[in-house]
Amino acid sequence: MSVEKILSDWKKGSFKALYWLEGEEDFYIDKVIDFAEHHILNENEVSFNLTIFYGKDANWADVVTACRRYPMFAERQVVILKEAQQMRDVEKLEAYIENPLSSTVLVVSYKEKKLDARKKFAKTVKEKGLLITTKKMYDRELPEWTQNMIQGKGLSITPKGLALLVDHIGNDLSRIENEIDKLSVNLGKRTSITEDDIEQYIGVSKDYNVFELQSAMAAKDLARCIRIIGYFEANPKAAPIQLVLPSVYSFFSKVFMVFGAGGSDEKTVASAIGVNPYFVKDYMQAARLYTYPGVEKVLLLLHQYNLRSIGVGDAGTEDASLMKEMVVKMMS
């Protein structure tokens, strides 16, 4: 069952006795916890029927006692255990979980970890309640996920705007949602997000960013690359080298895939390498200009300069100097 299904069931008044949310992706866990805290009970029921514990300070016996209480003036009560991964003796909840009270909805947040599936406790949780394990989203999944979130809020976004948003924020789903909400407020009556909106309201330059650097590299436009790197040098927070190099490596890894894509039309290549058809021209142009050996050389250089950027085999060359030196070698 997905997080969306849980929230859908709750909105329909369908509840289980236990929801155990674990894993690496806080965004989905926080969504469920927030709904449980603010929307399962109505305003008049909350004061008597909502109990919240924090794992670091919680005693397992107190949690069990709260769960075994009957609701007051309501059909059910909600008990939330946040940060359960920090709770001592958390497995002592097993006795309650084996025989839970049907009028109690126990929601547990167990972040950044997973229960040991080999242990009886994990098996009991899975048998008696609903266990959801969240995983960090892969970078390649972010554009589609972000696009779907934007559409779900009744908005649309230009392909370049989407690329800027995702490249700037990275794999932080909560921040992506917050920035989309901020954009929604600032759009007024408009419903389409553009790269100008991303620049104005999120602070990402539409002309000087990793996406534009990749485009300049794809075209072997050395002068433009140097201008963009110069902007990064003057604005260190705009694109630290530790974020730039992995993005460029990802770009050229897909360029490398173009050679085995098995077609020459843009639609076929875009599908084969997993990119938006709007941007596939850059990948195909780079494959054509660099050639197969050239792209191999670029990938090796990126690995070498990534090591140098963290001090391996380098005495402390400035980030901008490293990048300038790297792009000159790439295009030579």
- CATH number reported for the structural domain that contains residue 284 in this entry: 1.20.272.10
Q: What is the pLDDT of residue 11?
A: 95
pTM of the model: 0.79
Q: Is the pLDDT of residue 167 over 90?
A: no
Helix, strand or coil, per DSSP, at residue 97: helix
| 246-263 b/e (C-beta count within 10 Å ≥ 16 → b) | ebbbebbebbbbbeebee
Give me the number of domains the chain comprises: 3
Give the pLDDT confidence of 80-134 residue by residue, as tens digits. Answer: 999 999 999 999 999 999 999 999 999 999 999 999 999 999 999 999 999 999 9
Tell me the per-residue pLDDT of 35-79, one tens digit each, with 9 for 90 and over.
999 999 999 999 999 999 999 999 999 999 999 999 999 999 999
Please name which of 143, 155, 130 lies closest in space to residue 1, comparing C-alpha atoms.
130
Residue 240 DSSP symbol? -
- Same structural domain, 238 and 281: yes
The residue from 119, 134, 149 where one domain ends is 134
- The answer on 222 and 274 residing in a single domain is yes
Degrees (nearest 5) of the Cα angle 15, 21, 22?
Answer: 165
Residues 250-283 pLDDT 10s: 999 999 999 998 777 888 999 899 888 888 999 9
Two tokens at 187? 């759009």
Q: Which residues of 169-190 are buried (b: 16+ CB within 10 A; e: fewer)?
A: beeebeebbebbeebbeeeeee
Q: Are residues 186 and 227 in the same domain?
A: no
CA distances (Å), origin 99, targets 62, 102, 127: 16, 9, 11
- 135 touches 145 (CB < 8 A): no
What is the average pLDDT value for the chain, to the nearest integer? 93
- Domain at 95, CATH number: 3.40.50.300
Task: Give the closest residue to 72 by CA, choosing from 105, 97, 52, 44.
Answer: 44
53 and 172 share one domain: no
With a CB cutoff of 8 Å and minimum separation 6, the contacts of 25 are 134, 135, 136, 137, 173
Q: Which domain holds residue 275?
A: 210-331
pLDDT, one tens digit per residue, over 205-231 is 989 999 899 999 999 999 999 999 999
Q: What is the DSSP letter of 139?
A: G
Same domain, 23 and 123: yes
21's enclosing H/E stretch is strand 18-23
Q: Does residue 1 surpass a pLDDT of 70? A: no
Q: What is the pLDDT of residues 276-307, one digit of tens each?
A: 888 899 999 999 999 999 999 999 999 999 99
The pLDDT value recorded for residue 127 is 95
Residues with Cβ within 8 Å of residue 138, at least 6 apart in sequence: none
